[in-house]
Structure 1
């Protein structure tokens, strides 16, 4: 008989007890088991993430619902075994909102990719709870605040990319806590202070980008400890001092970028040997000195070499031809001509071996010698040849046509002679030709008419003879033509009418004869016309009145005769009109009194007669001249002209008396009639408000259906989406003809106020035409295929997007995406001219109501166009009801930061309000700061106005956008920038009556721009 052992019996009882305990534990822990199997924590965290998304135009989060498991939601990846979220990838989905702090509850998360969206607010510190996190990419958003402090807890992290945001404060210092970090990209933010030396502790780091910030002090030598570093980019900061020599010994480096700082010192003699993998070397816009190391010829992998604007001396090494992969060789604005034997340009011969060369920049180097014929043997891939501002002589080689892909030829400011070779016409890709300020002779070659993409041709200040080839004006893309200060003669060709895109036309100081072609009025975009100091005859063409964009018209020093045509009355934008030293007769037209923009009117030395007007510009002697017209009389006392004959005065008195009588008799009847008309008009207008949309009946506005726009935008696909606003989305489209690129603004009719915005925009845009206002093509009010209301506006497409995107670009766009020092004042003046037209020169004064960078669009030539007239308001009664209704439904009009203070106190919108918004826009344009940035709200600053005002004039360079390419050593530049900021300050004064008018702002900005141009030459 079997008897169980006492020990065995005890063990069995213990096992049973343990088993029973676990069964009870599982039974009482049903909730926790469910939580583990269903991952409720991850589920709730994702729902919290979605709850803070305020804008999802692509409906990417529509799948985030209970119909499917969250592991199958868009952008989510889970682990197979535990079904826990390991990756969140919603890159480039146009999502808007804040990043939920509950993201820290996704404890298994390893990858976060949220770049190229519209997130704002701070980066939650709860990200630091994700101790498994390896990849964090939040680039190209609008995150604010400081670098997330708790991120140091993520010890397993490999990649950190926070570029292109609004982050500020100091850089982190706990770099030793990231032993596996491979990439750190904090570029294009507002970080300040110095680069922490502790960054040298990340031995695993391969890529480091700190560019486009406000970092100062020197580069820490500890960075040289990063022996695996491949990319080192710290351009566009305020770094100063010497570059630590050990940095040049990091043999793994292939991209080295220190562009636009205050760095100095000499380049090491063995630079090309210690960096054998070097592909990109950018040290442009610094203060480096010494010579260009010949060892650079050993850096055989070099693709881009840019040392522009330093103090580096010559000679230029003869072995640069060893750089067989070089594409970008920018050596301009140095002193490479020093220490070179005059005439020794033999280094050119070696460059023939660089078969991938696209840009060669040798400008402003003091090079002396004959222009080498070997330039025609440079690579056919060459697109830009910049050799201006040297001491080159000789002629342009006859075989220049070999450079078939050349787009820019810039040889200005040299001592070139000879003729322009016929083969230049073979350069079909050329966009700009700069040959001015040389001694080139002969005729303009007829073949130049074959360059069908030419936009700028500058041949002035040479010794050219003969006539203008008529075919030159057949180039439809030509916008700037400068032929002045030559010996050209004959007639100005009638083919000038075909240059419909021409903006600047300079033909002065030549020997042209005959009349000015009567079809000159076809140049609708012409801004400046100079035909002065020639031998032109005949009457002033009446068609000149068709050039409505003209700002500068110089016709002095010719043989023009006849009267001043009344058609010039249409030139409301004229700033300078010079008709002096001709044979013009007749009276001075009275319409000149109404020219508000005129800066100078010169009618001197003609045969004018009669009374000089007294009103308008004629009340200020400093802005006009009538000397040398012997039969003039009257005018203001300062002219010291004889009084006009009594008969003229009596006639004038009789006219005045007659006017008084007519006023006394007809005024009461006129008032009664006006009241009746007003009542009828208001009744009719109130009926119009009930109509769905104003109809464009003009033949200028083509009729487009919903189907037409659907086809044009590829079914309103996400790929065609170029922007979003308060009341709708904008799509890029191509009309059925295939020739017209358009922007289609589709209204979201479900949004409150969208219909009123549509009405206001239609009513405004149908009544305005100006070079600096967005051009509407048509409007569409229809239904879609489901029977829903559909409303859209179709505009001319602006290929360079909005100013907003240039001032605050995303990280994945070209790092060179930037508005230059000379583009910014031009754009600012364009905007001011557009505002001035709305206020003073349209058929009725129009208030825009929302001037800001995102509403300023740039065309191909970076000409600014004001858009988005959804808040616009007419000053007369016909649309006041629309606008008043809109005011009551929307509250304060405009965008926070750009809205004038008085609007917040229920004041009527006004021209002064637009001026305030423009002032803030101007301050942002040159400071690079948004008016809502927290970084400006320090030191008792209430807004951007205060931030700039307190810095002027002593600290102007501290507030200038560091991305503007400046010659920082020139005091004159600081003065010009200070005057531009001052205009912004005067426009954005808190009290409306203290603000300057937009016309005054235009004059002051133009003066500042002219000084900038003068000092940048």
Structure 2
């Protein structure tokens, strides 16, 4: 038998198969290594372009660890390729490397809130898997890349707050998966491309605050899923396309501050059944308000202000169950019939209404008693400058949370209802220019939070209530041109909080009491055109920030006291038509900022000074003083020859001639004074003060036009902050391209003028590296002929401390992208603020109390150095021997940061700032506001910290610090900081730590922290 040949093929086949698999695996490994290397090199190229990394965020980007573990880098689990790069709010500086687009697996790129600049590379089109791109708040420029069309999977494109220019690329119309397109706050021009109407998945379209012109393309009406449309702050004209009203999914609709015109459809609110916010203010819309407004049951804010709307405000507004803001001001609303206020009754059902403004219209009628049934949530009720008649309903006292009531320039009659005293939260009561009669209720003295009281130009009679002395927060008191009699109560002259006391045109008598020296914050004192008498008290010289002093047309006598020379800020002085005598003191010529001086029709003698203000012959009035001599001839005074006896003899011999000349000049002087009086009243009525920026001597003014161009016409999208008296806009000065912050006073808000003057006074002479730097100012007229005042500050690119302590998750990154401040950064900020406060309290010529220290008033520059801002509530104070100042409390401040002694009428004190600093310090390291809902009753932020340290330190620290377990030097440093916060915020003022000591303790804590960091590096 022939043996069978063994079959060895299966064994050889298996070997070949194994070798094949090995080869395939090797090839795969080689390919894998190659692609990983590409990502690694792309990241290094990105890092190589970064010229500044102040937080050392990229220090982990080295060979010691795999790049998938680098800060901000996320890789896919399967292929270890970079899928996300998130580096927000790290202050990175430099251009964006084009090699970043080699990260071909990248899905999310978030570089928002850095300082990246230059062009956006065209290589972006290589990121075909990209879903989210956020470059918000950087400095990229140039045109938008047109090859974004290759990023077909893009869902969110966030380019807000850059310097992109040119037109919106039509190529964006091919990104069919795009849901969010945010191009606001750039310099885009041209028109809105109609191809955006192809983006059927779009839910959010924001093109606001650019230079876009033309009309709104009707193709946008094809965006059937759109929820948010923001086109505000451009130059868009024409009408709103009717196609937009077909988008029933709209939640927020903002076309404010454009040049849109035409009428609004009556079914507007039926077209947008889900509407939450409607903003159409600042356009040229005409016609009537949409009658379907009552159907906006979901709306929270509705703003039709500053248009040309006419007709009645629709009744039935009670359907607005969720509305908080209704703003119809500055239109032409009203009718000829005169029953225009019936709609107010329907607002009874709006139980969440907080602010109602219908001012500056043509509304007629009687204020209905039904306003007594408004929701107790109402805080601001503004009906100024209409034709409202009748009396103020007594039921207005039911609006217990009302803080602002403005009924100025109407036709109201009757008395001020006594029930108004129930409004214990009232801060601004403005009733001037009506026909109110009766007496000023003494019960107004119970409104202890009142800061502005203006009852001028009415027919009020009786005396000024002494009880107003209880209003220890009162800043402005205007009682001009009524029928008031008697002496001004000493209690009023004891209100050291006053910045303006205006009482002209009454029948007041008696002297100016010596208590006037307690008005250390007074900037305006006007008692002219009364029957007051006596001498000027020497204590008036203690009012060292006084700028406007009007004592004319009274019966004052005596000489001008030498203490008047202390009024170094005096701008306008009017002593005319009194019985003052003696020589004109030479120190009047030495007042540094005096602009106008009227000494006419008194009994002054001797030679008129010939220097200073007296060289400006048009600014000085001395006519009617028969025993004066001097130059120039325009004063119609005899030359001074020889001694006083000879001069007197010359005047006696020519008395008849001089008398004729005097009478003639007097007539012309009175005629010349009329425009001055009108100008003063006009400025007061609009802004609450008559002021020019106190900084103008050191900083050249900018015009309204320049500031308007710098801020895109004060576009809402340029707004970076807003307070009671002003709004702050980011701008770029056209003259030199400098980034600035422009604080525009809301002159329609009573007290804004006082805030402007206080801030000017504070900024006039203070200079410190940790105080906000003022660049310029503007005090003039806007394009509508209205008064305009603004301050221009150095721009702080990192915004307010409040934004960093309480960040809001962004749309693309979610919670992972919360902005964070490190332990070191927070401690540096605390030291900066302490040094600024120490400077204000102890290193200024006159101590300054800031009065409103809080995180939103601490601004951070590019290096995260802190700068204290907002001096609108600051006070210059006369120093006593102790740390307590010499005036009683007149500061509103902010709830949660205000020292407890202010609530019981305590004195203005530097110690109150230290209390606010202590609370700010505790908030800085706990991340909790003093008004957090967790605090109630006697359990507050201070108690929360005090009960938790030292054993519960980890429980009180801000989670965003990400410190892990706290021990050793870190624990020691943190305990020192929190104890400083507790000592500064002690309830009793005399138990608080000196601010200089606080700064020294914080510096020690910083030194301890640096020792820990050095040891960690070793």
TM-score, length-scaled by structure 1: 0.64
Give the aligned CA root-mean-square deviation in angstroms: 3.9
Report the Cα distance in structure 2 between the residues aligned to 1:518 and 1:799, rounded to whole angstroms: 40
- Which of 178, 183, 195 matches 1:198? 195
Q: What does residue 233 of structure 1 align with?
A: 230
Tell me the CA shift for residue 239 of structure 1. 0.6
SS at match of 1:42: helix
Q: What does residue 130 of structure 1 align with?
A: 127
Over 3 Å counting, the alpha-carbon distance change for 1:126 and 1:356 in structure 2 is same
Q: What does residue 712 of structure 2 align with?
A: none
Tell me the CA shift for residue 184 of structure 1. 0.9
Instruction: Render the CA deviation track for 1:671-709: whole Å, top value 9, x for unaligned.
Output: xxxxxxxxxxxxxxxxxxxxxxxxxxxxxxxxxxxxxxx
1:333-352 superposed matches below 5 A: 333-338=330-335, 341-352=337-348
Instruction: Render the CA deviation track for 1:493-526: whole Å, top value 9, x for unaligned.
Output: 2233553333222111122211112232332332
Q: What does residue 148 of structure 1 align with?
A: 145
Tell me the CA shift for residue 602 of structure 1. 0.3
Over 3 Å counting, the alpha-carbon distance change for 1:304 and 1:29 in structure 2 is closer
Q: What does residue 328 of structure 1 align with?
A: 325
Instruction: Render the CA deviation track for 1:752-773: whole Å, top value 9, x for unaligned.
Output: xxxxxxxxxxxxxxxxxx9879
- Which of 464, 480, 493 matches 2:489? 493
Report the Cα distance in structure 2 between the residues aligned to 1:568 and 1:854, rounded to whole angstroms: 36
Report the Cα distance in structure 1 between the residues aligned to 2:366 and 2:231, rounded to whole angstroms: 39
Report the Cα distance in structure 2 between the residues aligned to 1:60 and 1:105, rounded to whole angstroms: 22
Tell me the CA shift for residue 817 of structure 1. 11
What are structure 2's unaligned runs of at least 5 residues? 648-692, 697-720, 733-740, 777-791, 801-832, 840-860, 863-1018
Tell me the CA shift for residue 242 of structure 1. 1.1
Q: What does residue 294 of structure 2 align with?
A: 297
Report the Cα distance in structure 1 between the residues aligned to 2:727 and 2:835, rounded to whole angstroms: 14
Tell me the CA shift for residue 54 of structure 1. 4.6
Over 3 Å counting, the alpha-carbon distance change for 1:549 and 1:20 in structure 2 is same
Question: Relative to structure 2, which stretch is displaced further, 638-647 or 615-624?
Answer: 638-647
SS at match of 2:173: helix
For the Cα contact (< 8 Å) 1:772–1:830, is it kept in 2? no
Report the Cα distance in structure 2 between the residues aligned to 1:435 and 1:826, rounded to whole angstroms: 18
For the Cα contact (< 8 Å) 1:366–1:390, is it kept in 2? yes
Tell me the CA shift for residue 835 of structure 1. 8.0
Report the Cα distance in structure 2 between the residues aligned to 1:543 and 1:168, rounded to whole angstroms: 61
Report the Cα distance in structure 2 between the residues aligned to 1:312 and 1:489, rounded to whole angstroms: 44
Report the Cα distance in structure 2 between the residues aligned to 1:59 and 1:35, rounded to whole angstroms: 29
- Which of 688, 710, 729 matches 1:806? 729
For the Cα contact (< 8 Å) 2:247–2:271, is it kept in 1? yes
Report the Cα distance in structure 2 between the residues aligned to 1:369 and 1:221, rounded to whole angstroms: 41
Question: Relative to structure 2, which stretch is displaced further, 157-166 or 60-69?
Answer: 60-69
Question: Relative to structure 2, which stretch is displaced further, 550-559 or 25-34?
Answer: 25-34
- Which of 603, 616, 619 matches 1:607? 603
SS at match of 2:163: coil
Tell me the CA shift for residue 330 of structure 1. 1.2
2:52 paired with 1:112? no
Tell me the CA shift for residue 837 of structure 1. 5.3
Q: What does residue 853 of structure 1 align with?
A: 793
SS at match of 1:160: strand
TM-score, length-scaled by structure 2: 0.64
- Which of 517, 525, 528 matches 2:521? 525
Report the Cα distance in structure 1 between the residues aligned to 2:480 and 2:267, rounded to whole angstroms: 49
For the Cα contact (< 8 Å) 2:550–2:573, is it kept in 1? yes
Q: What does residue 33 of structure 2 align with?
A: 34
Tell me the CA shift for residue 152 of structure 1. 2.6
Tell me the CA shift for residue 79 of structure 1. 1.5
Report the Cα distance in structure 2 between the residues aligned to 1:538 and 1:483, rounded to whole angstroms: 22
SS at match of 2:438: strand
Tell me the CA shift for residue 460 of structure 1. 1.0
Q: What does residue 175 of structure 2 align with?
A: 178
2:382 paired with 1:386? yes
Tell me the CA shift for residue 581 of structure 1. 0.6
2:556 paired with 1:560? yes
Over 3 Å counting, the alpha-carbon distance change for 1:392 and 1:113 in structure 2 is same
Report the Cα distance in structure 2 between the residues aligned to 1:98 and 1:476, rounded to whole angstroms: 55
Report the Cα distance in structure 2 between the residues aligned to 1:867 and 1:126, rounded to whole angstroms: 48
Instruction: Render the CA deviation track for 1:91-138: whole Å, top value 9, x for unaligned.
Output: 344444443333222222211233333433333333332111111222
Report the Cα distance in structure 1 between the residues aligned to 2:424 and 2:55, rounded to whole angstroms: 42
2:642 paired with 1:646? yes
Report the Cα distance in structure 1 between the residues aligned to 2:354 and 2:342, rounded to whole angstroms: 20
For the Cα contact (< 8 Å) 1:575–1:600, is it kept in 2? yes
- Which of 275, 279, 287 matches 1:278? 275
1:590-739 superposed matches below 5 A: 590-647=586-643
Q: What does residue 749 of structure 1 align with?
A: none
Over 3 Å counting, the alpha-carbon distance change for 1:55 and 1:616 in structure 2 is same
2:583 paired with 1:587? yes
For the Cα contact (< 8 Å) 1:213–1:236, is it kept in 2? yes
- Which of 810, 813, 819 matches 2:744? 819
1:226-625 superposed matches below 5 A: 226-338=223-335, 341-625=337-621
Report the Cα distance in structure 2 between the residues aligned to 1:820 and 1:224, rounded to whole angstroms: 38
Report the Cα distance in structure 1 between the residues aligned to 2:534 and 2:87, rounded to whole angstroms: 69
SS at match of 1:568: helix
1:16-35 superposed matches below 5 A: 33-35=32-34
Report the Cα distance in structure 2 between the residues aligned to 1:109 and 1:477, rounded to whole angstroms: 58
SS at match of 1:345: coil
Q: Which has the higher contact order (CA 8 A, sep 6+)?
A: 2
Over 3 Å counting, the alpha-carbon distance change for 1:324 and 1:71 in structure 2 is same
Instruction: Render the CA deviation track for 1:356-414: whole Å, top value 9, x for unaligned.
Output: 11121222221111111111111111111111111111111112121122121111111
Q: What does residue 820 of structure 2 align with?
A: none
For the Cα contact (< 8 Å) 1:856–1:867, is it kept in 2? no
Over 3 Å counting, the alpha-carbon distance change for 1:478 and 1:191 in structure 2 is farther
Report the Cα distance in structure 2 between the residues aligned to 1:259 and 1:529, rounded to whole angstroms: 41
For the Cα contact (< 8 Å) 2:727–2:743, is it kept in 1? no
Report the Cα distance in structure 1 between the residues aligned to 2:478 and 2:754, rounded to whole angstroms: 19
Report the Cα distance in structure 1 between the residues aligned to 2:511 and 2:754, rounded to whole angstroms: 33
Tell me the CA shift for residue 308 of structure 1. 0.9
Tell me the CA shift for residue 334 of structure 1. 2.0
Report the Cα distance in structure 2 between the residues aligned to 1:382 and 1:434, rounded to whole angstroms: 17
Tell me the CA shift for residue 198 of structure 1. 0.8
SS at match of 1:807: strand
For the Cα contact (< 8 Å) 1:446–1:471, is it kept in 2? yes
Q: What does residue 205 of structure 2 align with?
A: 208
2:185 paired with 1:188? yes
For the Cα contact (< 8 Å) 2:722–2:728, is it kept in 1? no
Over 3 Å counting, the alpha-carbon distance change for 1:184 and 1:16 in structure 2 is same
1:829-844 superposed matches below 5 A: none
For the Cα contact (< 8 Å) 1:802–1:855, is it kept in 2? no
For the Cα contact (< 8 Å) 1:448–1:472, is it kept in 2? yes
SS at match of 2:349: coil
Tell me the CA shift for residue 554 of structure 1. 0.9
SS at match of 1:632: strand
For the Cα contact (< 8 Å) 1:802–1:854, is it kept in 2? no
Tell me the CA shift for residue 535 of structure 1. 1.6
For the Cα contact (< 8 Å) 1:772–1:831, is it kept in 2? no
Report the Cα distance in structure 1 between the residues aligned to 2:28 and 2:275, rounded to whole angstroms: 62
For the Cα contact (< 8 Å) 2:310–2:333, is it kept in 1? yes
Report the Cα distance in structure 1 between the residues aligned to 2:775 and 2:44, rounded to whole angstroms: 35
Over 3 Å counting, the alpha-carbon distance change for 1:636 and 1:569 in structure 2 is same
Over 3 Å counting, the alpha-carbon distance change for 1:853 and 1:96 in structure 2 is farther
